[in-house]
């Protein structure tokens, strides 16, 4: 690949300057409008929490009160616990821009009247100011904000994903302009020096992958962005696509230039309709701005991007299955080597990178490999994005420098476990990952440390579990998932995961047998060694890690028919402690959906075990003053209470 030669003596820098100036003018025009500005996060998570209703409420209230304010829809801030998130910038009030969490329609109407009209920001509803000031504590005083390091998500929640000008005005596509003035080898060198590793899970060095493809340059090459995110509880890629699609496009164009490709494809799940819509829109805008098309930024480099929608098979996130699926075949993996970098889509060399990997490229080009290496660890430079869900106070997307410990992430940044419960385990890496117990909380988060501990970085799903979860049941849940998502091609994954699931399901039903633990271990090792693709090879990980760290729970399930987490229904039972039960109180009886609660002769309550479905409603209904409903495991511990006496 030669250095791109400019057409009409116009270098890409000038072409970029033109669109940059244009974007800045539009941006200034937007900012020069007097009056308040209301920024509403409207990615899928915000919408699910009611952001659209919030927006209508603002619009309605503004019209009613005749207030001139601009509503600005932005992507996702990553603070799911606080959705719908609204930032109100009301310069005339004298207050700095304020971050409001959980803005419902009612709150929106209230804020319109009291803040926008009367100037009272309602301190009780504020999370913080977005800038340091004298009046209101800044959000940056909170760990959830100040311990993050945003590289990929820097602009998420700040800009309107539907407006390319906002991306350009915040230096977007400047990295592309810079790249086009350099030799493609130089760019690959830069990516190699940055130490960037693929963010899809396995952590293969991105620069090396690009180099392999570049070495295959006799042929046309293809750039594919893998946005087939499917791990349960993981939604980083969706959020980035919905909040800042242009950063991904920019990374892909730079990659295309570096590897000599003319064609890029974004493989995105059809289950992400908003992401599909926004990315398609972004591609159209980029074409209109000559960022995609026959001459990228007026150079003779041609590159275009198309969108391919995957139809719901988890296995298509595996790169060879993804290629098969794009070729129109059944989404089933094939044997590697040859790797896609040598023979990929239609047998052409194909670079396949994750959404987050592409999103790292523009910052690396702009700020340099050295800068990137200052973030994170020596072996895993840069940041990691996790969707932290489960039993944590501040769930959501968190971008942290690699090397931060799990403890810092879960307890400092995400606020720890709610309801005074104890931490039990953290599941990292989705169905391919593993569960780590409390002893591993000081493990630094990077590719190698997590793999060593038995989990894996994965694409960034993280589920935090408290004392109420059962590790056998968690393993069962993930095996149920992989078993359903197996493509059915190879023997070990197709039938092996099914057999594993059978044993686990038996354990959770209290039908465990002696020898089951060895059986689980043997099957898991064989499936790991024998499966064809990454899905099968990693499918037993949830079983292997929970066996390693929570073996006592397995033993309790088998020997005592006891579920220590009291989560497996067949192994638990509810009963009423007669000493604490209040005479004449009917709350538990009233709420029982199956009429399993009966009244004893002395007007206290008992539970008919034959009828009870173990929903736990009675325990919730029982007033804290009595606290008479007990849950026990094994179920045989339940004292017998005579129905009539």
Nearest approach, Cβ of 544 to other proteins (angstroms)? 16
* Site for other proteins contains 312 (CB under 8 A): no
Nearer to other proteins, 421 or 513 (CB): 513
* Site for other proteins contains 334 (CB under 8 A): yes
Nearer to other proteins, 154 or 485 (CB): 485
Find the part of the chain contacting other proteins (CB under 8 A) among 92-100, 124-132, 330-338, 440-448: 330-338
Contacts of 309 (CB under 8 A, 6+ apart): 268, 269, 270, 276
Q: Which of residues 167-226 bind other proteins (CB under 8 A)?
A: none
Find the part of the chain contacting other proteins (CB under 8 A) among 188-196, 199-207, 331-339, 626-634: 331-339
Nearer to other proteins, 183 or 271 (CB): 271
Q: Note whether 58 and 174 are within 8 A (CB).
A: no
Phi/psi of residue 97, nearest 5 degrees: -60, 135
Phi/psi of residue 98, nearest 5 degrees: -120, 140
- Grouping H, G, I as helix, E, B as strand and the rest as coil, residue 428 is strand
* Site for other proteins contains 346 (CB under 8 A): no
In the list 491, 551, 590, 613, the residue contacting other proteins (rule: CB under 8 A) is 491
Nearest approach, Cβ of 327 to other proteins (angstroms)? 13
- Grouping H, G, I as helix, E, B as strand and the rest as coil, residue 311 is coil
Q: Which of residues 503-532 bind other proteins (CB under 8 A)?
A: 515, 519, 522-523, 526, 529-532
The β-bridge partners of 38 are 71, 88
Nearer to other proteins, 329 or 583 (CB): 329
Nearest approach, Cβ of 315 to other proteins (angstroms)? 8
* Site for other proteins contains 498 (CB under 8 A): yes
Helices (H), 121-271: 143-146, 164-169, 174-180, 184-194, 206-215, 236-243, 245-259
In the list 5, 335, 640, 642, the residue contacting other proteins (rule: CB under 8 A) is 335
In the list 21, 122, 277, 330, the residue contacting other proteins (rule: CB under 8 A) is 330
Nearer to other proteins, 275 or 533 (CB): 533
The enclosing H or E element of 269 equals strand 261-269
Nearest approach, Cβ of 525 to other proteins (angstroms)? 9
* Euclidean distance between the first and the last CA atom of the chain, given in angstroms as a whole number: 91
Identify each DSSP E strand in 391-499 by its residue range. Answer: 396-401, 423-428, 434-437, 461-466
* Site for other proteins contains 347 (CB under 8 A): no
Find the part of the chain contacting other proteins (CB under 8 A) among 394-402, 493-501, 566-574, 617-625: 493-501
Nearest approach, Cβ of 533 to other proteins (angstroms)? 10
* Dist CA 255 CA 176 (whole Å): 10
In the list 94, 418, 488, 639, the residue contacting other proteins (rule: CB under 8 A) is 488
* Dist CA 596 CA 614 (whole Å): 10
Q: Note whether 243 and 274 are within 8 A (CB).
A: no
Count CB-CB contacts under 10 A for residue 122: 13
Q: Note whether 530 and 492 are within 8 A (CB).
A: yes
In the list 495, 578, 591, 641, the residue contacting other proteins (rule: CB under 8 A) is 495
In the list 483, 524, 538, 546, the residue contacting other proteins (rule: CB under 8 A) is 483
Nearer to other proteins, 34 or 337 (CB): 337
In the list 18, 193, 281, 494, the residue contacting other proteins (rule: CB under 8 A) is 494
Closest residue by Cα to residue 225 from 240, 212, 211, 215: 240
Q: In what order do the strands lie in the sheet with 434-437?
A: 396-401, 383-390, 461-466, 423-428, 434-437
How many residues bind to other proteins according to rule CB under 8 A?
31
* Site for other proteins contains 485 (CB under 8 A): yes
Distances from the Cα of 32 to the Cα of 25, 29, 36, 302, angstroms: 10, 5, 11, 37
In the list 27, 217, 499, 619, the residue contacting other proteins (rule: CB under 8 A) is 499
Task: Return residues touching other proteins (CB under 8 A).
Answer: 313, 330, 332, 334-335, 483-492, 494-499, 502, 515, 519, 522-523, 526, 529-532
């Amino acid at each position: 690949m030669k250095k791109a030669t400019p057409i009409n003596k116009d270098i890409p820098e000038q072409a970029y300057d033109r669109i940059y100036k244009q974007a800045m003018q539009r941006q200034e025009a937007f900012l020069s409008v007097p009056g308040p500005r209301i920024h509403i996060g409207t990615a899928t998570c915000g919408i699910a929490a009611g952001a659209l209703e919030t927006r209508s409420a603002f619009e309605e209230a503004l019209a009613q009160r005749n207030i001139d304010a601009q509503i600005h829809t932005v992507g996702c801030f990553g603070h799911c616990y606080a959705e719908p998130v609204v930032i109100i910038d009301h310069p005339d009030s004298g207050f700095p821009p304020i971050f409001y969490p959980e803005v419902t329609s009612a709150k929106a109407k209230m804020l319109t009247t009291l803040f926008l009209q009367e100037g009272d920001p309602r301190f009780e509803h504020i999370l913080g100011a977005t800038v340091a000031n004298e009046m209101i504590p800044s959000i940056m005083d909170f760990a959830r904000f100040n311990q993050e390091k945003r590289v990929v998500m820097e602009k998420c929640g700040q800009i309107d994903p539907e407006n390319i000008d906002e991306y350009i005005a915040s230096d977007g596509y400047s990295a592309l302009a810079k790249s086009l003035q350099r030799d493609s080898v130089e760019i690959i060198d830069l990516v190699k020096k940055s130490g960037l590793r693929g963010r899809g899970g396995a952590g293969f060095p991105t620069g090396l992958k690009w180099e392999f493809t570049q070495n295959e340059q006799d042929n046309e090459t293809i750039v594919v962005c893998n946005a087939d995110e499917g791990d349960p509880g993981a939604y980083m890629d969706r959020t980035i696509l919905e909040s800042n699609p242009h950063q991904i496009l920019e990374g892909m164009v730079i990659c295309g230039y570096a590897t000599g490709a003319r064609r890029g494809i974004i493989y995105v799940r059809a289950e992400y309709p908003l992401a599909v819509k926004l990315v398609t829109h972004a591609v159209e805008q980029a074409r209109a701005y000559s960022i995609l098309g026959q001459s990228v930024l007026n150079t003779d480099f041609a590159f275009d991007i198309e969108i391919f929608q995957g139809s719901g098979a988890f296995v298509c996130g595996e790169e060879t299955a993804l290629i098969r699926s794009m070729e129109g075949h059944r989404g089933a993996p094939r044997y590697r080597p040859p790797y896609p970098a040598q023979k990929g889509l239609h047998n052409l060399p194909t670079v396949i990178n994750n959404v987050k990997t592409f999103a790292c490229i523009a910052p690396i080009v702009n700020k340099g490999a050295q800068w990137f290496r200052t973030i994170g660890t020596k072996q895993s430079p840069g940041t990691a994005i996790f969707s932290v869900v489960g039993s944590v106070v501040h769930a959501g997307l968190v971008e942290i420098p690699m090397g931060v410990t799990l403890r810092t992430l879960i307890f400092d940044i995400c606020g720890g476990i709610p309801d005074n419960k104890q931490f039990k385990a953290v599941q990292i890496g989705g169905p391919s990952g593993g569960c780590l117990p409390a002893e591993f909380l000081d493990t630094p988060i990077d590719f190698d440390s997590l793999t060593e501990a038995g989990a894996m970085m994965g694409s960034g799903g993280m589920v935090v579990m408290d004392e109420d979860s059962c590790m056998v049941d968690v393993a069962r849940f993930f095996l149920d998932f992989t078993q359903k998502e197996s493509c059915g091609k190879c023997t070990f994954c197709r039938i092996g995961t099914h057999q594993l699931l059978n044993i686990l399901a038996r354990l959770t039903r209290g039908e465990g047998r002696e020898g089951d633990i060895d059986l689980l271990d043997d099957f898991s090792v064989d499936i790991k060694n024998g499966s064809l693709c990454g899905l099968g090879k990693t499918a037993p990980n949830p079983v292997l890690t929970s066996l390693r760290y929570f073996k006592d729970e397995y033993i309790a399930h088998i020997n005592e028919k006891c579920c220590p987490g009291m989560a497996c229904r067949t192994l638990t039972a509810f009963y009423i402690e007669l000493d604490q039960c209040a005479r004449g109180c009917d709350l538990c009886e009233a709420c029982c959906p199956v009429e399993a609660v009966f009244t004893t002769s002395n007007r206290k309550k008992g539970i008919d075990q034959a009828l009870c479905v173990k929903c736990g409603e009675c325990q919730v209904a029982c007033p804290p003053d009595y606290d008479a409903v007990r849950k026990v495991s094994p179920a045989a511990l339940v004292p017998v209470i005579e129905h009539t006496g």
